[in-house]
C-alpha cells in the first residue's frame, strides 16, 4: 500500500526542511499528534507563540528572505485572524513591489466530533476572494504532490485547504462519467468523499450521473470533459465543505452556468452557525443530503 | 539602560540628551548626517510645493520634522534590512533609495519605485533592502521579526506611536526577545494618531513594554546624535533593542497643510549644532547643493505635470 496523504505531507515537509533550507512555522505543531502525523521531527521547525495575527506575519518575513516557509494553521477557523498578513502582504507583494513572497499556507479543515463553530468547516472561499494567492484543496497523495510541485516551481504564496478526512487516504479519486447521465456533480474538499457515497446511492437507484473532482479552486479551470458533461445534462450541483452562500460552490456554479447554459446549484454548509451537538452541526453535505438534492432536482 | 519615568510623560527637545555627543562623533559624521537629512528636507519641500499646487493627486505623508531621525539611523545601521511604514520618505532617501523612483511613485508614474502601485505610504527600495509596506499600520514589525528569524541578519523596523499600539506589536517584541533576534525596533513618537494625542489613547509606554520583555529600551528626543549614540550601542551590544523617539510632525497627517508652528524645530536645532561645531560654511554649501538637486529633480516633472 502506498503512503497516506498525511505521510505524503510529512515526507514532502521533511525534504523541504532538511534539503531545501525551508522552514515550517506554526503553533503547537510539535505537540500531541504533530498535526495528524503530517509534521516530521526534524530541524527547521519554528514553534511560534500563540499569536494568531503576528504569527502569519512572521512567516511572511521568512518568505521575503527566501526561506519558502510552510505556515500551518491547525483549524481553518483560525484563518480569520491569521489571514491578515497573508492577504495584505504575501498576496500583494509581487504585484505591488515585484517582490515574491512564497508562503505555503497549510490550513486544515475539520468537522464533526463536537469541534463546534470556530474550529469546524472549511473557509477556502475567503482566500479565493482576494488577489495574488492560488487556492487548492488536495485530498489524495498525488494531488498533494502536484500542489507542492506547483509551489516549488512558482514564486506565489499558495493557500492549501486541507481536510483532516484526507489524511488517511491512499487512493486517488477519478472522475466518473456515464453515457446517459442526467446530472453533473462537481465536488470539492471533503465534499468529494460524501459525493462518492452519494453517487453509489444514485447508482443503486438507477440514476445515471457524472461526477467531477476539483482540486484547483483558484484559478479554476473547468476541464473540457466537465464543460461537455454540463452542456449535455444541462443540470449540475457543486458540492463543497465551505459555506454555500457567496462561496466557492456558488462562484463555480455562476461561472459554469455562463459557459454551458446549464442550470447549476450550489450545495455547501448552510447559512447558520455550527453547533457542538450532532443535532445542530453544520458540516459538509452528507451523502444522504446530496442524493436527496439530486432526486429533487431531477423530479423538478 | 535608561530609567523610564513614563507615569509622567514629558515631551521635550532635550529628553535624554547627553552632552558633547556631536563632538565625540566628529565633523565628518556631522556633515554626512546633515547632507542626508538636508536632502530629505529639500525633497519634501518640493513634494509639499507639488501638493500645494495640486500637481500631486495621490495622498502623501511628509516626513518634514523627522528628516534627521532617518539620517541618524542610516549612519549607524549599515547593511540592515528596513521595514518602515508611511511617513518614510526620509528613510528611503537617507538609506540611499533612488530619489527619481520616489518622485515618480508620488506622481503615480510607471517609473516609480513600485510602478505607481504603492504610493507614498508603501514605498520600497530593493537597492537598499527597504521592503514595502502594505498600509496596515505596524504590520511591518512582525514581518521584520520574521525576516530576522528567517535570515539571522539585522533588521531595522520603524513604526509610529499609534501603530505601536497594534495588537501584533507585543508578540513581535516578545518573540524577538525570546529568540534574541537582531531587530532594532524604533517608534517615531510624534504624539499624534492623526490628531488624537497619546494621552487620550493610552497610559503605558512602549519602551516600558519592551523593557519588561527583556529588550533594552530608551525613550529619547529626536536629536540625531543622541539617536545615533543609542542605536550604535544597541547594535554593538546585541540586538534586539527598542528606541522610542519623540519627534515632531511639522505638517498634517497627510498632505501639505499645517496647524501652526511645530512643537520644536529639530531642523533648526541641527543647523545651530553644526554652526557650533564650526561647520557653517560647509553647511551652506551642502544646503545649496541639495536644494539645487531637489529643484532639478522636481522642476521638470512639475512643469510637465502642470501642463497636463
Per-residue pLDDT of chain A (300 residues; tens, 9 = 90+): 799 999 999 999 999 999 999 999 999 999 889 999 999 999 999 999 999 999 999 999 999 999 999 999 999 999 999 999 999 999 999 999 999 999 999 999 999 888 888 888 899 999 999 999 999 999 999 999 999 999 999 999 999 999 999 999 999 999 999 999 999 999 999 999 999 999 999 999 999 999 999 999 999 999 999 999 999 999 999 999 999 999 999 999 999 999 999 999 999 999 999 999 999 999 999 999 999 999 999 998
Question: Does any CB of chain A come closer than 8 Å to the CB of residue B167?
Answer: yes
Q: Over the stretch B74-88, which tens digit does the pLDDT of each residue have?
A: 999 999 999 999 899
Instruction: Copy the grid coordinates of residue A125.
Output: 472561499
Q: Mean pLDDT, chain B, as a whole number?
A: 94
Residues of chain A found within 8 Å of residue B151, distances taken between Cβ atoms: 65-67
Considering chain A, tell me which residue range(s) the CATH 3.40.50.920 domain(s) occupy.
183-299
**C-alpha distances in angstroms, B191 versus A112, B10, B34, B245?**
50, 11, 25, 10
CB contact under 8 A, A54 and B145: yes
- Nearest chain A residue to B150, by CA: A62
Mean of pLDDT values over B88-99: 97
Choose among A62, A67, A88: nearest Cβ to B139: A88
Please name every residue paired with A208 in a beta bridge, in sequence order, or none if there are none.
none
Nearest CA distance, A177 vs chain B (angstrom): 47
Residue A137 CA to residue A270 CA, distance in Å, equals 20
Report the gap between the CA of B169 and the closest CA in chain A (Å).
8
CATH number of A5-166: 3.40.50.970
Tell me the C-alpha to C-alpha distance, in Å, between residue A243 and each of A240, A285, B75.
8, 10, 54
Interface contact flag, A98 B148, Cβ < 8 Å: no
Shortest CA gap B248–chain A (Å): 29
**In this structure, are residues B255 and B46 in contact, taking their beta carbons and an 8 Å threshold?**
no
B139 touches chain A (CB under 8 A): yes
The one-character DSSP state at B245 is E
Task: Report the pLDDT averaged over residues B182-191.
Answer: 97
With contacts defined as CB-CB under 8 Å, which chain A residues touch B153? 65
Q: Which domains does chain B have, with CATH numbers?
A: 31-307 (3.40.50.970)
Are the Cβ atoms of B171 and A54 closer than 8 angstroms?
yes
Closest CA–CA distance from residue A153 to any residue of chain B (Å): 21
* pLDDT tens readout for residues B34-59: 999 999 999 999 999 999 988 898 99
**Closest residue by Cα to residue A238 from A199, A186, A283:** A186
* Distance, CA of A169 to CA of A33 (rounded, Å): 17
- Classify residue B8 by its DSSP letter: G
Q: Are A104 and A69 spatial neighbours (Cβ–Cβ below 8 Å)?
A: yes
- State the span(s) of chain A assigned CATH 3.40.50.970: 5-166
Q: Which position has the grid cell 487556492?
A: A135
- Name which residue leads in pLDDT, A69 or B250: A69
pTM of the entire predicted model: 0.95
- Measure the CA–CA gap between A96 and A92, rounded to whole angstroms: 6
Architecture of domain A183-299: 3-Layer(aba) Sandwich (3.40)
What ipTM describes this predicted complex?
A: 0.95
| A188 neighbors A135 (Cβ within 8 angstroms) | no
Partner residue opposite A57 with nearest CB, options B122, B142, B178: B142
8 A C-beta contact, residue B188 and residue B69: yes
Distance of alpha carbon A165 from the chain centroid: 11
Task: DSSP letter for B6, please.
Answer: G
Q: Do A60 and B153 touch (CB under 8 A)?
A: no
Do A92 and B134 lie within an 8 Å CB cutoff?
Answer: yes
Return the pLDDT at B3: 46
- Contact call for A84 and B145, based on CB within 8 A: no
Closest Cα to residue A60, out of B146, B36, B257, B94?
B146
Cβ pair A157, A102 in contact under 8 A: yes
Amino acid at each position: 500500500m502506498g503512503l497516506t496523504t498525511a505521510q505524503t505531507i510529512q515526507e514532502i515537509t521533511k525534504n523541504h526542511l532538511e534539503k531545501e533550507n525551508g522552514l515550517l512555522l506554526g503553533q503547537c505543531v510539535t505537540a500531541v499528534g504533530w498535526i495528524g502525523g503530517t509534521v516530521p521531527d526534524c530541524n527547521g521547525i519554528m514553534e511560534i507563540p500563540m499569536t494568531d495575527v503576528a504569527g502569519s506575519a512572521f512567516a511572511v518575513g521568512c518568505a521575503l528572505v527566501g526561506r519558502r516557509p510552510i505556515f500551518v494553521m491547525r483549524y481553518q477557523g483560525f484563518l480569520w485572524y491569521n489571514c491578515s498578513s497573508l492577504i495584505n502582504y504575501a498576496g500583494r507583494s509581487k504585484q505591488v513591489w515585484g517582490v515574491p513572497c512564497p508562503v505555503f499556507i497549510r490550513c486544515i479543515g475539520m468537522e464533526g466530533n463536537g469541534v463546534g463553530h470556530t474550529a469546524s468547516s472549511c473557509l477556502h472561499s475567503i482566500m479565493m476572494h482576494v488577489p495574488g494567492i492560488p487556492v487548492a484543496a488536495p485530498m489524495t497523495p498525488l494531488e498533494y504532490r502536484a500542489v507542492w510541485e506547483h509551489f516549488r516551481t512558482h514564486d506565489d504564496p499558495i493557500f492549501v485547504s486541507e481536510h483532516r478526512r484526507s489524511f488517511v487516504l491512499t487512493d486517488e479519486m477519478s472522475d466518473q462519467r456515464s453515457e446517459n447521465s442526467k446530472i453533473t456533480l462537481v465536488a470539492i474538499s471533503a465534499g468529494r468523499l460524501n459525493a462518492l457515497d452519494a453517487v453509489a446511492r444514485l447508482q443503486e437507484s438507477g440514476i445515471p450521473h457524472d461526477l467531477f473532482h476539483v482540486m484547483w479552486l483558484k484559478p479554476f479551470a473547468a476541464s473540457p470533459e466537465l464543460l461537455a458533461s454540463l452542456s449535455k445534462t444541462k443540470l449540475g450541483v457543486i458540492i463543497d465543505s465551505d459555506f454555500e452562500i457567496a462561496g466557492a460552490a456558488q462562484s463555480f456554479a455562476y461561472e459554469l452556468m455562463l459557459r454551458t447554459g446549464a442550470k447549476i446549484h450550489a450545495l455547501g454548509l448552510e447559512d447558520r452557525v455550527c453547533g457542538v451537538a450532532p443535532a445542530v452541526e453544520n458540516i459538509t453535505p452528507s451523502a444522504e443530503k446530496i442524493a436527496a438534492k439530486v432526486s429533487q432536482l431531477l423530479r423538478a | 539602560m535608561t530609567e523610564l519615568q513614563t507615569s509622567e510623560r514629558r515631551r521635550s527637545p532635550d529628553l535624554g540628551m547627553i552632552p558633547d555627543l556631536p563632538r565625540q562623533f566628529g565633523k565628518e559624521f556631522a556633515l554626512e548626517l546633515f547632507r542626508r537629512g538636508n536632502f530629505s528636507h529639500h525633497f519634501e519641500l518640493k513634494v509639499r510645493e507639488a501638493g500645494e499646487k495640486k500637481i500631486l493627486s495621490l495622498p502623501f505623508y511628509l516626513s518634514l520634522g523627522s528628516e534627521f531621525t532617518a539620517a541618524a539611523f542610516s549612519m549607524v545601521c549599515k547593511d540592515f534590512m528596513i521595514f518602515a511604514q508611511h511617513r518614510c520618505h526620509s528613510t528611503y532617501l537617507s538609506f540611499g533609495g533612488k530619489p527619481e523612483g520616489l518622485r515618480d511613485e508620488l506622481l503615480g508614474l510607471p517609473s516609480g519605485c513600485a510602478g505607481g502601485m504603492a504610493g507614498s505610504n508603501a514605498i520600497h527600495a530593493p537597492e537598499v533592502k527597504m521592503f514595502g509596506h502594505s498600509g496596515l499600520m505596524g504590520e511591518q514589525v512582525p514581518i521584520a521579526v520574521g525576516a530576522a528569524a528567517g535570515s539571522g541578519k539585522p533588521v531595522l523596523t520603524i513604526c509610529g506611536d499609534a501603530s505601536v499600539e497594534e495588537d501584533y506589536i507585543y508578540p513581535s517584541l516578545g518573540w524577538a526577545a525570546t529568540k534574541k533576534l537582531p531587530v532594532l525596533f524604533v517608534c517615531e513618537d510624534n504624539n499624534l494618531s492623526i490628531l488624537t494625542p497619546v494621552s487620550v489613547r493610552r497610559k503605558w509606554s512602549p519602551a516600558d513594554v519592551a523593557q519588561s520583555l527583556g529588550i533594552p529600551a530608551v525613550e529619547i528626543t529626536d536629536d540625531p546624535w543622541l539617536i545615533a549614540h543609542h542605536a550604535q550601542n544597541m547594535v554593538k551590544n546585541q540586538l534586539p533593542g527598542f528606541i522610542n523617539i519623540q519627534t515632531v510632525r511639522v505638517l498634517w497627517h497627510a498632505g501639505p497643510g499645517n496647524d501652526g508652528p511645530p512643537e520644536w524645530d529639530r531642523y533648526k536645532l541641527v543647523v545651530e549644532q553644526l554652526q557650533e561645531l564650526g561647520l557653517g560654511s560647509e553647511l551652506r554649501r551642502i544646503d545649496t547643493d541639495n536644494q539645487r538637486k531637489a529643484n532639478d529633480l522636481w522642476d521638470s516633472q512639475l512643469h510637465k505635470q502642470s501642463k497636463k
